[in-house]
């Protein structure tokens, strides 16, 4: 089958396009050209056109792109035209923060349960999502169709929890622990390594200083 793989760089730009298009839509803008969008986003028009044409011709020559239509198309490409059931592992500060994001829920990403090993937390709930003992997680997964597991626990605990998750058949992991997870090929992992982000910032702070000193 003729279907080249889309590069990670392209995929990473799709949510950005979506964000800008969403803002335009909210402002009531009906159409936009790749040139206008490129000025807004500070990327080249060529890149926008080429990125989009990986997935189909959504524009019209002499006209441009219909904002609302393109917004929907990109959403569909990103898989935002369905719902996702999630569980959260770790009821700490980060987990609480994540479970509270209304924007995730609005996009169709819905937490169904929170698991923690701290018995003081078990039985409580955060925003109506029950906190359960980590030991009942396998049983829960058997009785509920869960699409995504969110890992918000220290790396020491993460590795073994992920092993369990994989054994239970989880196919997607959003990983906030500072470790590269070793999972089978059919399990997708998206990492959010905050400390790496912070280090990039500190690199750039000092790089900027050096430049200034030249």
Partner DNA sequence: ATTTAATTGTTTATTTTTTGACAGACAAAT
Partner DNA sequence: ATTTGTCTGTCAAAAAATAAACAATTAAAT
80 vs 157, beta carbon nearer a copy of itself: 80
| Residue span 3-32 as binding mask against DNA, x where in contact by CB under 7 A, dash where not | ----xxxx---------------------x
Binds a copy of itself by CB under 8 A, chosen from 29, 46, 60, 97: 97
- Among the candidate windows 48-56, 109-117, 126-134, 146-154, which touches DNA by CB under 7 A? 48-56
- Interacting span for a copy of itself (CB under 8 A) from 11-19, 29-37, 64-72, 114-122: 11-19
Residue with tokens 């730009």: 13
Closer Cβ to a copy of itself, 136 or 201, answer by number: 201
Rounded Cα–Cα distance for residues 135 and 142 (Å): 13
204 binds DNA, rule: CB under 7 A: no
Is 169 a residue that touches a copy of itself (CB under 8 A)?
Answer: no
Q: Which of a copy of itself, DNA, none lies near 112, with the C-beta cut-off 5 to 8 A by kind?
A: none
Which CB, 47 or 110, lies closer to DNA? 47
Contacts (CB under 8 A) with a copy of itself, residues 109-168? 109, 147-148
Could you say which of 45, 78, 157, 159 contacts a copy of itself (CB under 8 A)?
78
Q: Which is nearer to a copy of itself, 118 or 206 (CB)?
A: 206
Strands 64-66 and 59-60: antiparallel
At 108, list the tokens: 């169709």
52: contact with DNA by CB under 7 A: yes
Which of residues 135 and 204 has its CB atom nearest to a copy of itself in the complex? Answer: 204
What does the DSSP assignment read for the chain?
A: ---PPPPHHHHHHHHHHHHHHHHHHHTT--EE-HHHHHHHHTS-HHHHHHHHHTT---EETTTEEEHHHHHHHHHHHTTTTS-EEEEEE--SHHHHHHHT-HHHHHTTEEEEEEEES-TTTTT-EETTEEEEEGGGHHHHHHHS---EEEE-S-HHHHHHHHHHHHHTT--EEEE-SSS-----TTSEEEE--HHHHHHHHHHHHHHHHHHHH-
- The least CB distance from residue 8 to DNA, in Å, is 6
Q: What is the CA radius of gyration of the chain?
A: 21
Residues that bind DNA (CB under 7 A): 7-10, 32-35, 43-47, 49-50, 52-53, 57-65
């Amino acid at each position: 089958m003729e279907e080249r793989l889309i590069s990670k760089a392209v995929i990473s730009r799709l949510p950005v396009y979506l964000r800008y298009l969403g803002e335009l839509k909210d402002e009531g803008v009906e159409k936009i050209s790749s040139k206008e969008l490129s000025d807004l986003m500070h990327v080249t028009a060529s890149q926008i056109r080429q990125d989009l044409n990986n997935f189909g011709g959504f524009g019209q020559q002499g006209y441009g792109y219909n904002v609302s239509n393109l917004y929907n198309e990109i959403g569909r490409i990103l898989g935002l035209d369905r719902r996702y059931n999630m569980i959260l592992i770790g009821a700490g500060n980060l987990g609480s923060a994540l479970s509270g994001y209304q924007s995730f829920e609005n996009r169709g990403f819905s937490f169904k349960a929170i698991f923690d090993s701290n018995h003081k937390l078990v039985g409580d709930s955060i925003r109506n999502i029950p906190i359960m003992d980590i030991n009942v997680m396998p049983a829960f997964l058997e009785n509920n169709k869960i699409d995504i597991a969110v890992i918000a626990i220290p790396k020491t605990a993460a590795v073994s929890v992920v092993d369990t998750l994989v054994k239970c058949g989880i196919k997607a992991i959003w990983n906030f622990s500072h470790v590269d997870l070793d999972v089978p090929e059919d399990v997708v992992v998206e990492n959010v390594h905050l400390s790496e982000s912070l280090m990039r910032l500190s690199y750039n702070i000092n790089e900027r200083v050096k430049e200034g000193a030249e």
